[in-house]
Amino acid sequence: MKSHEEPTPIAQAPRNKPGETPDLSIVVPTYKEAENIEPLGGRIFAVTSSANFSTELIVVDDDSQDGIDLKCRELATRYNVRLITRNGARGLATAVLHGMSQARGRLLVCMDADLSHPPEAIPAMVQALNRGADFVLASRYTRGGGIKHGWGPHRFAISKLATLLARPLASVTDPMSGFFALPRAEFLHAHDLAPLGYKVALELLVRLAPKRLVEVPIHFEDRRFGKSKLSLHVQLEYLRHLRRLYRYKYPFVLELGQFLLVGFLGLILDLGVYVGTQLFLGLNHILARSVAFICSGSHNWFRNRHHTFLYGRMRRPLPQWVSYLFVVSLGFLVNVGTYTVLTVGTRAFADRRYLAMLTGILAGAVLNFYVFSRSPARQ
């Protein structure tokens, strides 16, 4: 941590009086976690009261109807506990953000309900915030952290891959972590939040871009009660979320990456039509080249309009269609022109038509990317 500020004591009284701002608001999203909430609450308040932090626990439940309301009511007789039940809404990230928006504490902590995140790490996280950190992430992969009982190779590989994909977005060892803390004032600065799926810490890290970021090691434990809600749907949502965050942080790299991917699919189509129309329809190779270009060009335009250059959809259809025709015909001229000039005009390429074809495609693609990525709708 870069800050050299002295730590400031955060609390005098372990229990805040009604109406008083607590030091800590701990937000816990729940879905079917009735068995876990009592032991979690017990551990949270044992830790925070021995550290002298006045604390409120905010449970955001998506209408689990599993008796969590009774458990929270019982906990509330001993501690400062609030249950927020959302009807109709489902989703971890939106639940956490909702809970944080209702919190009153000076500092916010978010953690899972299933006892995977040890509440005993909270004092170290609070201490880091009090020393000037803007964001504290509890990490399994930083020095001193780990995963208790180990994971099978399948789960480990998926988690590692997901982590690697997120690394360029946030310079932390564990961007997948759901256990984090930040000052409420910092959270109130977060604009354009577009939470999706599970990864709310990653969302906040990208949108807030905190300068003083601290990682605190934790030993992650597998849940003992209840089932994980991490479904295939949530995993696919993670990919959509990543795409959204890359678009936000690295718009050019995302556009280029998607453009190349679309181009690669178009190339396969292009090759198939080029070879197929010659083999099965007996077309002359220059005509086959043109037909293949029209098929793959249309495919690429359609996909890029829908996936790559989204701002392109903000333009009115008619002028966009006209300029598209213009770009496509320029691309067509450059692509097929390069091919024709190389195969007809040079000896080296006369016997290497596929190489000439690839060169033509590349020249057309460079021109198309240049024109599409400079769309006036972008500004």
Ligand X SMILES: Nc1nc2c(ncn2[C@@H]2O[C@H](COP(=O)(O)OP(=O)(O)O)[C@@H](O)[C@H]2O)c(=O)[nH]1
The H-assigned helical ranges of the chain are 34-50, 68-76, 92-102, 122-130, 153-166, 184-187, 200-208, 232-249, 251-281, 285-303, 317-345, 347-350, 353-372
Residue from 147, 208, 136 nearest 172 by CA: 136
User: Which residue's CB comes closest to ligand X?
Assistant: 228
Place of tokens 């501690």: 79
Separation of CA 219 from chain center: 24
Which residue in the block uniquely carries the two structure tokens 């959302």?
86
Q: Which is nearer to ligand X, 91 or 263 (CB)?
A: 91
Pick the stretch among 57-65, 108-116, 196-204, 257-265 that binds Mg ion (CB under 5 A).
108-116
CB nearer to ligand X: give 90 or 189.
Answer: 90
To ligand X, the closest distance from the beta carbon of 39 in angstroms equals 13
Question: Stretches 49-57, 87-95, 257-265, 294-302: which one binds ligand X (CB under 6 A)?
Answer: 87-95
- With binding defined as CB under 6 A, does residue 90 bind ligand X? yes
Q: Which residue has the tokens 């002295």?
A: 6
Tokens describing residue 320? 């966009």
Query: Does 114 engage in binding with Mg ion (CB under 5 A)?
Result: yes
Instruction: Report the 10 Å Cβ neighbour count for 24.
Output: 28
Least Å distance between CB 230 and ligand X?
A: 4
- Scan for tokens 């979690």, then name that residue: 40
Q: Using CA atoms, how far apart are residues 12 and 109, in angstroms rounded to an integer? A: 19
Measured distance CA(310)–CA(223) in Å, rounded: 41
Q: Which of 20, 37, 125, 34 is nearest to 81 (CA)?
A: 37
Stretch of 114-122, 129-137, 244-252, 267-275 lying at the interface with Mg ion (CB under 5 A): 114-122
d(CA 291, CA 285): 10
Which 95-134 positions form the footprint of ligand X (CB under 6 A)? 95, 112-114, 116
Least spacing, CB of residue 281 vs Mg ion, in Å? 57
User: Binding of ligand X at residue 266 (CB under 6 A)?
Assistant: no
60 binds ligand X (CB under 6 A): yes
Q: Is 116 in the site for Mg ion (CB under 5 A)?
A: yes
Residue 346 Cα to chain centre, angstroms: 49
Stretch that binds ligand X, among 4-12, 56-64, 248-256, 338-346 (CB under 6 A): 56-64
CB of 63 to ligand X, least distance (A): 9
- Asked if 35 interacts with ligand X (CB under 6 A), we say no
Q: What is the nearest approach in angstroms of Mg ion to the Cβ of residue 308?
A: 35
Among the residue ranges 65-73, 111-119, 201-209, 281-289, the one whose residues contact Mg ion (CB under 5 A): 111-119
24-30 and 55-61 beta bridge pairing: parallel
Listing DSSP states for 232-282 in one string gives: HHHHHHHHHHHHHHHHHH-HHHHHHHHHHHHHHHHHHHHHHHHHHHHHHH-
| 91 lines the binding site for ligand X (CB under 6 A) | yes
Amino acid at 317: P
For Mg ion, which is the closer residue by CB, 225 or 302?
225
CB of 205 to ligand X, least distance (A): 18
By CB under 6 A, tell whether 29 contacts ligand X.
yes
Residues in contact with ligand X by the rule CB under 6 A: 29-31, 33, 60-62, 90-92, 95, 112-114, 116, 223, 228-230
